[in-house]
Amino acid sequence: MVLAVTGCALAGGTATAVAAPMLGFPKIQHVVMIMQENRTFDHYFGTYPGADGIPPAVCVNDPLNGGCVAPFHSTADLNNGGPHAHQDYTADLNGGRMDGFVGRAEQGSGCTTTDPSCSPCTITSTGACIDVMGYHDAREIPNYWSYAQNFVLQDHMFENVSSWSWPQRLATVSGWSANCTDLTQVSTCHDSFAGPGSPPYPAGVTLPWTDVTYLLHNAGVSWGYYVFQGTEPDCESDSSMSCAPVTMGPLTASIWNPLPWFADVQADNEAGNIQSLDNFYNAVQQPGSCGLPNVSWITPSKDVSEHPVNLISKGQTYVTTTINTIMNSPCWDSTAIFVSWDDWGGFYDHVVPPVVDELGYGLRVPGLVISPYAKTGYIDHQVLSHDAYLKFIEDDFLGGQRLDPATDGRPDPRPSVRENAVPGDLVNDFDFTQAPRPPLILPVHPPPGPASTPPGTGFVRPHGATPMKVSLVPAYKACTAPNNTHGAPLSFGSCSPPQQASSFLTLGTPDANGQGAKSVGSLVASAMSCPSCVPPTADVKLGVSITDVRNKSDLLDYTGQLRVDPSIRITDRNNAPPSGGSAAATVNDTDFPFPVPCASTADPMVGSTCSISTTANAILPGALSAGQRAIWQLGQVRVFDGGSSGTAGASDATLFEDQGIFVP
């Protein structure tokens, strides 16, 4: 969806520019929202550098053919997708395992396209056209990647309702998807994943709850809802994967054009603000000044919507044309453009959506922010939803007023104020101190861009897998020094050989691949003393080696960092050998965390190896004099993966080895 903001009013269907009555962000006088269809973030930007993209080792269960399907680069301009009603959302998530996408697409396939639950895919014997695990990059969508590289990409934008286009479109303009026992009585309305049934409705039937145009109208803020005439992009059935075309136009209230049905739009006599996209282009190109309204929604026809089975390239051309038109006009310097896709369309995404209320959020979708004041090449990691567009409009033009039954003067029984529930804020994607950036005019039929790096780094195992630890018996080298203690004397005394070792085995529970991640490792600690140092120091040299033992066809190599967190116990015996002294011993337990790099191996039967040799400097608890000594021994050992970034110390790291090996 693209959102641009401009300042103008509509009279009799013709846009005339006026000053905005109130501007929370004075440099943004026009907001334009372009909403496309049915793609997830991983499907379009899953390999975008720096974004929260497809993790390695993902493989989603394939109930029809057995085994699993890993994400793959798709060169296809025509995709099929999968069912995408609320029940399909629930099945795709599968309790947070995010592994129901292939099976759900297979359940929707294998019948004729006249059945609303069918898939366009008819090859079911091998699942050859089940493409929900496919992803695209700059080779297929170079302009979308160029916008991300030059403006703002949002990698935690979620659809506001965990369902399909109709309820999502309702929520995008009103902050609520509802159904009503009696459409003449707003008090009978309640949350609904399906909305009040698909339009058209009988004569005189309207939607009684409040949409944002009511607030805009009362504040004198102009708006326009522009429809690309043709057939509607989605089916009239919530779980359809294909359907017969239904004509859509400015005054045809389809599932992508909800505002004509709202009672407040009719009461405000603003049905004329719902117009053909031709009028949008005419307003943008108005000589001398920007002719756009303050708020514009742009809705595609089926052919350019990117809704399966329509071509991605046609949608990209349409979106690029719209953005180029704004950039080449007087509107550019005062406009914010937001681009997104309304729902997931059955395609895979790995992020479990946050839950803010009964209706959502839904799955993650791409989001772009394009403006002369947008940050450059910025990846926004804030948690957002399409409700954030309403929040931005209200903060810019309405002084922060919300669609709140307690304050908006038109009460309805919505259970929450959705704009206030959005954790992030779109204003963080802008730098209003910078000079307006020049337009970035892109070709409407661009050549393919460069290939991206396939998923393959960042996780030891898919996040969420619970490791099982099986510790082997620690191997201690006996110390032959006086008192026969474990470990090596660090000052005066002898122990041969002066080292301790700990071996461990880690088994991961079955991951999304159906495989168990397994690794073996060891940590060897050797004494290094400096009795001449003042005070004397005790250095412990640590050697770590960890190897994944499994077939490479099962799991991808891990090339990030581990964090190994061993502890060293140092005991100052304060004894004069051989008879000992009377003073009490001092014991220090010190952690020495350090990163361990991991690399791929060429062995087809062995995965990554992670190894390092390092020194932990242990300062003894006080000066030692001749005839005194301290004893060290290896303590608890913990090993963490590198989380989603593959970096030691990451906040989302998984602990997959925890051994307490202190020996009294």
Judgement on whether residues 498 and 610 belong to the same structural domain of the protein? yes
Cβ distance 137 to 73 under 8 Å? yes
Establish if 113 belongs to a structural domain.
no
Q: Are residues 415 and 475 in the same domain?
A: no
SS3 for 413-467 is CCCCCHHHHCCCCHHHHECCCCCCCCCCCCCCCCCCCCCCCCCCCCCCCCCCCCE
- Residue 388, exposed/middle/buried by CB under 10 A (0-12, 13-18, 19+)? buried
Does a structural domain hold residue 312? yes
What are the residues whose beta carbons fall under 8 Å from the beta carbon of 635, sequence distance 6 or more?
566, 567, 568, 569, 589, 660, 661, 662
Domain boundary pick from 428, 453, 477: 428
User: Which residues, listed in sequence order, are joined to residue 538 by a DSSP beta bridge?
Assistant: 529, 618
- Specify whether 536 is located in the same domain as 649: yes
Task: With respect to residue 449, please indicate whether it lies within any of the assigned structural domains.
Answer: no
Within a domain: 81: no
Residues 46 and 455 sit within 8 Å (Cβ to Cβ): yes
Q: Are residues 542 and 594 in the same domain?
A: yes
The predicted pLDDT at position 386 comes to 97
H-helix segments, 140-275: 142-150, 165-174, 212-219, 263-267
Residue 101 is assigned to a structural domain of this protein:
no
Element (H, E) at 265: helix 263-267
Three-state secondary-structure class, residue 216: helix
The DSSP secondary-structure symbol of 108 reads T
Count other Cβ atoms within 10 Å, centred on residue 480: 11
N-terminal to C-terminal alpha carbon distance within the chain: 65
518 & 397 share domain: no
Round to whole Å and give the CA distance between 249 and 257.
Answer: 9
3-state class of 70 per DSSP?
Answer: coil
**Within a domain: residue 579?**
yes
Say if residue 266 is in the same domain as residue 171: yes
Residues 193 and 311 grouped into a single domain: yes
288 in a domain, yes or no? yes
Domain of residue 162: give its range: 2-44+137-352+366-428
Shared domain check, 487 and 399: no
| Cα distance between residue 151 and residue 375, in whole Å | 6
The answer to whether the bond into 309 is cis (omega within 30° of 0) is yes
For residue 186, the cross-strand partners are none
pLDDT computed for residue 591 by the predictor: 80
d(CA 575, CA 630): 9
10 Å CB burial of residue 520 (0-12, 13-18, 19+) is middle
Assess contact for 337 and 292: CB atoms under 8 A: no
117-164 pLDDT, tens digit per residue, is 446 664 544 455 789 999 999 999 999 999 999 999 999 999 999 999
Give the end of a domain, one of 428, 458, 477. Answer: 428
Q: Are residues 556 and 652 in the same domain?
A: yes
Q: Which two tokens stand for residue 301?
A: 């026809």
| Domain boundary pick from 428, 456, 476 | 428
- Backbone φ and ψ for 136, nearest 5 degrees, come out as -115, 160
Residues 340 and 489 in one domain: no
The CATH number that applies at residue 243 is 3.40.720
Does residue 124 belong to any structural domain of this protein? Answer: no
Let me know whether 490 and 374 are in one domain. Answer: no
Task: Flag residues of the chain having pLDDT under 70.
Answer: 1-22, 109-128, 230-253, 456-519, 526-540, 548-559, 569-586, 602-607, 616-635, 644, 656-664
DSSP letter at 335 equals E
In terms of domains, do 480 and 399 share one? Answer: no
CA dist 65 and 60 (Å) reads 12
> How many domains in the chain?
2
| Contact between 564 and 596 (Cβ < 8 Å) | yes
What pLDDT, in 10s, does the model give residues 557-611?
A: 666 777 888 877 666 555 444 444 555 666 777 787 888 887 777 666 666 777 8
- Rounded to an integer, what distance in angstroms lies between the CA atom of residue 229 and that of residue 246? 11
Residue count of the chain, please give it.
664
